[in-house]
Amino acid sequence: MKLSAEVKAFEGRLGYVFSRPELLIRALTHSSFATATGDNQRLEFLGDRVLGLVMAEALLMADKGASEGLLAPRFNALVRKEACADVARQIDLGDVLRLGRSEMMTGGRRKEALLGDAMEAVIAAVYRDAGFDAAKRVVLRLWGRRIDHVEADARDAKTSLQEWAQGRGLKPPSYVETGREGPDHAPIFTIEARLETGEMASASAPSKRAAEQSAARDLLAQLTGG
């Protein structure tokens, strides 16, 4: 199977050249795209497990004295859908996705869940093409900076802010949507985190959850001088 110039360029961004390019094509094929060769759902299932094993091993090697209680939130921060989607954007995976008309019309190339799923499928495709060590090299290269800074990413800002407030006898913070911009298929939400004492911080993101976390993180930084 001969790959298009766009997909060959994606191999360059991925840092891996397939000996069986049909695996990459399947990994890039969303279920909305009618094709006899199948979609990427089964590869996504496998890629999630491959990514998990790579990250679990990487975390154990990075901090040999860390307890399970410390490792678990770091692991979750590295394998969650938002992290996979962020890596997908880093290598412009959305540009080469094979989507049906409905997904194309609703901004599928920018959807976080769709990008995250496709990233996992691509990892599985590398694994099926050349084995675990090849997949591990790809993952560690793409996730490298995130692994180095996982301690900060692993902190659940909303939980930390609530604990800070409760420790001072305050009610839990509230989160208020103060704005929404962009088209329906790619909205940007603005969320304000507020304490009953009047302190507040605002943040914007493509999902309410991400905006709430960012607002909580910013407010906590104000309160603690961090």
pLDDT digits (tens, 9 = 90+) for 101-131: 888 888 888 888 899 999 999 999 999 999 9
Distance, in Å, from the CA atom of 129 to the CA atom of 135, rounded to the nearest integer, reads: 9
Q: Which residues are catalytic?
A: 48, 120
Fold annotation for 5-154: Ribonuclease iii, N-terminal Endonuclease Domain; Chain A (1.10.1520)
Greatest Cα pair distance in the chain: 65
Give the architecture (CATH level 2) of 157-224. Answer: 2-Layer Sandwich (3.30)
Residues of the chain with CATH 3.30.160.20: 157-224
pLDDT over 80 (residue 36): no
- pTM over the 0.85 mark: no
Query: What 3-state class would DSSP assign to 149?
Result: coil
Side chain identity, residue 76:
N
E strand map for the chain = 174-181, 188-194, 200-205
Domain(s) labelled CATH 1.10.1520.10 in the chain stretch across: 5-154
- Computed over its alpha carbons, how large is the radius of gyration of the chain? 20
Tokens 């009047």 found at: 198
